[in-house]
A and B are shown apart, each in its own frame.
Chain A
Amino acid sequence: MSLSAALRSGDVSLLPGKRDEDWKWTDLRGLLRVLPATAPALDLSGLTQGPFDALADQRQVVAGGHESVSIDVPADSKLAVALRVLSRDGGALSGKVAIRVGAGAKLRLLESYEGDASAYVTDTALSIVLGAGAAVERVVLAADGAEGVNVSQAQVTLAPGAEYGQTVITNGARRQRIETQVTHPGANAKLRLDGLYLLEEKRHADLTTVVLHQGVDGATDQFTRGVVRDQSRGIFQGRIVVEEGADRTDARMRHNALILSDKAEIDAKPELLIFADDVQCAHGNTIGALDEEALFYMRQRGLPETEARALLIEAFVGAVADRIGFEPVRDIARAWAAERLRG
């Protein structure tokens, strides 16, 4: 069951839905009675700038008529890529992105999902393979339209000594899922998986991750935060599997969410499945409202209530954005988040 299979065949019965355990909170089958026609080819000559274009050596677009992208980063080289997935005009888009990062190479992957106001359906499958000692920082800015359906699934394969850092920032869509699956060989490879969802109205965002620790001496540090208001719904599913023999794994998972309305919803499923003996694993999951006592304290110092709330929320959100390694990208992420919070 997958969106890509459904789009390929036009058969809605192949859509993932409630009966699939990993999709029970992001039911596409119940939502989509029909699938839209394939998006027409997009003329790339008149494109406006993407959010990360100015920071990239190479620009790539996934859109109607441009479904496949492949990026090769030669060993020991450095590259910054702005990858844009453009969803338009109520069309169906099935994108494929294959990325190979050679041994010792460094890639900054700056990815944006940009959707218009139409009821489009977009599916993107990414494969990201890192060579030994390679380093990737992937930042995903998901700016979908309120009527759009967007699923992005990345398969990441790490090699010994590789470093992979990821930050997904999203304000959701009608249905949106951004999924990352990582095969972790241990062997001093390091993984950082962060996420931030800022949802309002009826938006839905699902951040799902699966990490498989397959060898000794691996590290995973995962930090996701979310803010939901109105009738929005945020989903965090994080699974870390430490396979038998993957000793000395150090895995940490944190998810904190703020619910700012009675009608908003958070569904969180943190899972640590540990089959090795000698590991350090921890997870923390909190869901709550803003601290009223802290708000009174701030107001007593002169901050109007709206400003006090905004400052607390921005600080809450900033903790995730602060972990983005490259400062100009961090600034873009912070500014984007601040704009969504003010709305």
Chain B
Amino acid sequence: MLHIENLRAEVDGKEILKGLSLDVPAGEVHAIMGPNGAGKSTLSYVLTGRSGYDVTGGTATLDGEDLLALDPNERAAKGVFLSFQYPLEIPGVPALTFIRTAMNAQRKARGEAEITAPAFLKLAREHAAALKIDFEMLKRALNVGFSGGEKKRMEIFQMAMLAPRFLILDETDSGLDIDALKIVSEGVNAMRSPDRGMLVITHYQRLLDYIKPDKVHVLAGGRIAATGGPDLALELEREGYDKYARAA
């Protein structure tokens, strides 16, 4: 599924990713943990093609296809979804309109037919109910005036609607109270499937109590400094990132 090899990237001329290699096979959930400034968010932006994040070396492929050569929207159409740490407000564009436009743009890029209005609304009602999102909220401008928790829930709602093949969750737990965390995690877990991969980026172990990873990687100094099973997250929670930060 996702294969990253020796990836190097810089922001404003400063190298942040310094030869990062990582494999996430289909059907697995991998967590990326690391201290602040290790390059966690940079990794998510490099994979999704944000401008200002310049790749200076290495490769990133999804099922063998070069992601780095594609525009952000082409990557999305290939099935790459990033749940933003800070979701943006889109004034004047109702959430449902936005998601439907995005869905149809992806479908068009893949050569598929547009979704019909009834089919879209049915899907939206189902997913909104599962995530305990008030349907009226979906008629409001996307994320405008939403609380931090509502924005995160809206990210998961979009993820459920767009049904991507590869999910990147960037600090999805930040700003969530425990009830919201449970709802969001259930939403993410519902998406686990044998043909879907996930990269869960988090600073704290807490989220991994709810979204159980198959593997945990420590990102420090722009590289994967250690890889282990779920136990590694617990160890990091106990001992902190000091030894990795020092080694980097």
Contacts and interface: CB of A to CB of B under 8 A. Distances in A.
Contact of B72 (A294, A300, A314, A318): A300
A303 interface: yes
B84 interface: yes
Nearest to A316: B92
B102 A301 contact: yes
B185 interface: no
B51 A304 contact: no
B73 A305 contact: yes
Nearest to B44: A300
A1 interface: no
Contacts of B77: 302
Given A296-B51, A296-B72, A297-B84, A302 B90 contact: no
Contacts of B49: 299-300
A298 interface: yes
Contacts of A301: 76, 81, 98-99, 102, 158, 162
B193 to A, nearest CB: 20
A294 B89 contact: yes
Contact of B102 (A292, A298, A305, A315): A298
Contact of A315 (B82, B92, B162): B92
B48 interface: yes
Given A301-B98, A303-B101, A303-B102, A294 B162 contact: no
A307 B84 contact: no
Nearest to A311: B93
B195 interface: no
B84 A315 contact: no
Interface string B146-163: 000000000000100010
Most chain B CB neighbours (cut-off 10 Å) among A298, A300, A303: A300
A318 B90 CA distance: 13
A339 interface: no
A98 interface: no
B92 A307 contact: no
Contact of A302 (B50, B89, B105): B105
B71 to A, nearest CB: 7
B48 to A, nearest CB: 5
Contacts of B90: 294, 297-298, 312, 315
Nearest to A291: B88
A302 B109 contact: yes
Categorize the interface residue count of chain B: 20 to 34
Contacts of B72: 296, 299-300
A305 B71 CA distance: 9
A319 interface: yes
Name the prevailing secondary structure of the A interface residues: helix
A318 B92 contact: yes
Interface string A303-340: 11101100110111011000000000000000000000
A300 B105 contact: no
Interface string B43-55: 0000011110000
A196 B93 CA distance: 18
A319 B90 CA distance: 13
A312 B101 CA distance: 12
A303 B73 contact: yes
A302 B102 contact: yes
A262 interface: no
A302 B162 contact: yes
A143 to B, nearest CB: 24
A304 B71 CA distance: 9
A21 interface: no
A291 B162 CA distance: 24
A43 interface: no
Contact of A294 (B73, B82, B88): B88
B81 to A, nearest CB: 8
Most chain B CB neighbours (cut-off 10 Å) among A293, A297, A316: A297
B91 interface: yes
A292 B88 CA distance: 10
A95 B77 CA distance: 56
Interface in B59-89: 71-73, 75-77, 81-82, 84, 87-89
A300 B76 contact: yes
Contacts of A299: 49, 71-73, 76
Nearest to B143: A297
17 contacts: A293-B88, A294-B90, A297-B87, A299-B73, A300-B49, A301-B81, A301-B158, A301-B162, A302-B109, A303-B102, A304-B73, A307-B101, A312-B92, A315-B90, A316-B91, A319-B91, A319-B92
Interface of A: 291-294, 296-305, 307-308, 311-312, 314-316, 318-319
Given A301-B158, A314-B92, 18 more contacts: A291-B88, A292-B51, A296-B72, A297-B88, A298-B90, A299-B73, A299-B76, A300-B48, A300-B73, A301-B81, A301-B98, A302-B109, A302-B162, A304-B71, A305-B73, A315-B93, A316-B91, A318-B92
